[in-house]
């Protein structure tokens, strides 16, 4: 792909995002052929948006999620600053095709994980983390059918990022917790409608965190201090409609809420 192709694809996706419109695919001459081209478009999309990034998201961290969108592994996307909301915020569903809420373990970094040749080990990644937060992701896509376009186009589309709500940092020592078996309950209008554990996130949210650290030294510039990484849903996504209230209960690790309009 040429720089002009990358720029055209990024502008196309950002325009559709702003307009709440969709396309079947990117035009053939601007369609990424692999992950590297997908991430190049995604990086340019962030530039075109005029927003900084608060951090990163990981999509398709469960086998069910990967099967649903026909990919063979996770995908990384950027969390644009103006798409990140505080706990309890109201989220607009205007133009949103997916209309689901996901419960996710999110981690804020206290120091950089810089680009390097050698892959990061899990212990190195955890040592760089400052805090754990309960979080809600409200994803969406700029494609008519995001289940058939393939991983490179999904990466270009910012891995289906849309809205993100970051809860308060856990007040307990989360490093002592079994995140694999840790239960999370999702409530819609005070009724529990979905439950899961950290095992649904690549087997362990900490493994997902290590995955993205290595994905970004291969296809990006690494992770930066202050950035947040949300590691993928640990429950079956909850369908939402306007006027719904969602609460994700992470037990001793806290909770996070959202309202929808």
- Asked if residue 256 is part of any domain, the answer here is yes
Q: Is residue 68 assigned to a domain? A: yes
Q: What is the CATH number of the domain that holds 57?
A: 3.90.850.10
Token representation of residue 252: 């001793």
Please count the structural domains in the chain. Answer: 1
Residue 53 and residue 77 in contact, taking contact as beta carbons nearer than 8 Å: no
25-53 pLDDT per residue, tens: 999 999 999 999 999 999 999 999 999 99
Specify the pLDDT at position 253: 98
> Tokens 């999904």, residue?
154
* Domain presence at residue 87: yes
Residue 243 Rama label (left phi>0; alpha psi -120 to 50; beta): left
pLDDT, position 68: 87
**Residue 16: exposure state from Cβ atoms within 10 A (0-12, 13-18, ≥19):** middle
- Examine residue 213 and state whether it is found in any structural domain, yes or no: yes
3-state secondary structure of 103: strand
Residue 27 located in a structural domain: no
The model scores a pTM over 0.85: yes
User: Is residue 253 in a domain?
Assistant: yes
Q: Which domain holds residue 163?
A: 52-150+157-260
Q: Is 90 exposed, middle or buried (0-12, 13-18, 19+ CB in 10 A)?
A: exposed
Which residues of the chain are modeled with pLDDT < 50?
Answer: none
Q: Is residue 10 part of a domain?
A: no
């Amino acid at each position: 792909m040429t720089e002009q192709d990358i720029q055209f694809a990024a502008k196309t996706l950002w325009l559709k995002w702003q307009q709440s419109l969709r396309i079947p695919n990117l035009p053939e001459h601007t369609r990424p052929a692999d992950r590297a081209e997908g991430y190049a478009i995604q990086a340019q999309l962030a530039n075109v948006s005029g927003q900084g990034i608060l951090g990163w998201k990981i999509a398709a961290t469960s086998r069910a999620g990967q099967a649903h969108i026909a990919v063979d592994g996770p995908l990384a996307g950027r969390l644009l600053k103006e798409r990140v909301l505080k706990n309890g915020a109201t989220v607009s569903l205007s133009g949103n095709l997916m209309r689901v809420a996901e419960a996710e373990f999110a981690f804020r970094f206290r120091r950089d994980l810089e680009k390097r040749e050698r892959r990061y080990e899990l212990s190195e990644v955890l040592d760089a983390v400052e805090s754990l937060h309960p979080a809600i992701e409200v994803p969406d896509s700029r494609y008519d059918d995001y289940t058939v376009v393939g991983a490179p186009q999904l990466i270009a589309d910012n891995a289906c990022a849309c809205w993100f709500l970051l809860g308060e940092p856990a007040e307990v020592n989360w490093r002592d917790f079994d995140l694999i078996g840790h239960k999370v309950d999702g409530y819609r209008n005070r009724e529990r409608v979905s439950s899961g554990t950290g095992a649904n996130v690549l087997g362990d949210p900490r493994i997902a965190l290590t995955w993205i650290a290595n994905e970004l030294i291969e296809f990006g510039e690494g992770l930066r201090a202050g950035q947040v990484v949300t590691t993928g849903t640990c429950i079956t996504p909850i369908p939402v409609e306007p006027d719904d209230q969602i609460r994700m209960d992470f037990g001793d690790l806290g909770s996070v809420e959202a309202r929808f309009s």
